[in-house]
Amino acid sequence: MIDTGKIVARSPPVRGPVEAEPWELQLYSQHDLQTAINEFDTLILRIESSLENPSLQAKDNPEDQEKLAALATAKFDLPRSADEIGLISTEVLDSAGLKQGFVRDFLRSVRRPKANIKYIAPGLRLPTEADFSPHPLQNFEGPRNSENPILPIPLFVSDTRSTTPIFRYPFQDISNLPHGLWTNSVDKDGLHEFEDGCQLCLPFEIGANGFARLGDDSLVGEQLESGGVAEPHGRRNELYQTGYNHYIPGHAPQLGDILFIWKAMVGAGEWEVGEGGVLGGIEKFKEADTEDHYYKYQLHVKW
């Protein structure tokens, strides 16, 4: 964490518990940001390289998987023009109230996919400027526990909207929000807050089958019933969650780590690719609660 800038020494520390002095936890580091950018760019290049080389059949084919990775790496190393960078304009982000920070820097720094690419995961599309004009929670009026909050931001969402609330307090009364990958609500003045944390909000529950796992290897929705036996329960927002992180309790899964999994799914041919990007609807994520596929969707705790 020191090497990546996740924690820095500062006396006195501005953020973090007093007992950890002089160490201070960062909202995000440049390493966190660059990792997320690189994983997104590589994911996009693997999608594009798959379309440009239809003879490659990566599924259960290590040789073609290596060829696909090599093609994406070669394109990654090529210089890019200003027109090939950024998903959302600075003007739109300004009007959406997204100030300097992780989400804004990410959206302005990643590779812009070719025009035909829309989906980067099953049923989850790239953000458009209309999504931020305004963004779904921009005009949220409710209890605020901080003078310096960052509201949840939709990054890669479906075109279907929830009929019930998808978030907890203080957004527990808000429905009609798109399912998909959102950043977490952040109190920038809090002691354990991180701007690169995310959650995948699904329109169905994952975990009831007893295969889907959190990053700490516990079952999604796990509850210890009588006799100390772990019983799984379905959850809509727990896929990719870390469980108990011994290193930074309370840190939600990082965007870069989720994009790493998506990149691997495309590179291994587990997710098929078509002209519009990754194929299949959001129902594909139900594989995460099956015996044959759960481990491919599991994010592992690091640090």
pLDDT (tens digit per residue) in 108-129: 999 999 999 999 999 999 999 9
147 lies in some domain: yes
Distance separating the N- and C-terminal Cα atoms of the chain: 7
> Per residue in 248-294, pLDDT tens?
666 789 999 999 999 999 999 999 999 999 999 999 999 999 999 99
CA distance 162 to 276: 24
Per the structure block, which two tokens stand in for 132? Answer: 């931020």
pLDDT at residue 267 in the model: 98
- Does 301 map to a domain? no
pLDDT of 171-228, one tens digit each? 999 999 999 999 999 887 776 788 999 999 999 999 999 999 998 888 888 875 545 6
Number of domains making up the chain:
1
CB neighbour list of residue 15: distance below 8 Å, 6 or more residues apart:
24, 25, 26, 27, 190, 191, 193
Question: Which structure tokens are listed for 12?
Answer: 């006195």
Omega cis (within 30) before 12? yes
Q: Does 47 reside within a domain?
A: yes
CA distance 55 to 58: 9
CB 176 within 8 Å of CB 162: yes
In a domain, 141, yes or no: yes
- Tallying the residues shown for the chain, one arrives at 303
What is the model's pLDDT at position 15? Answer: 65
For the entire predicted model, the pTM comes to: 0.92
Domain that holds residue 180: 7-296
In 3D space, the residue among 234, 97, 119 whose CA is nearest the CA of residue 180 turns out to be 119
The DSSP letter of residue 60 is T
Is residue 303 a part of any domain in this protein? no
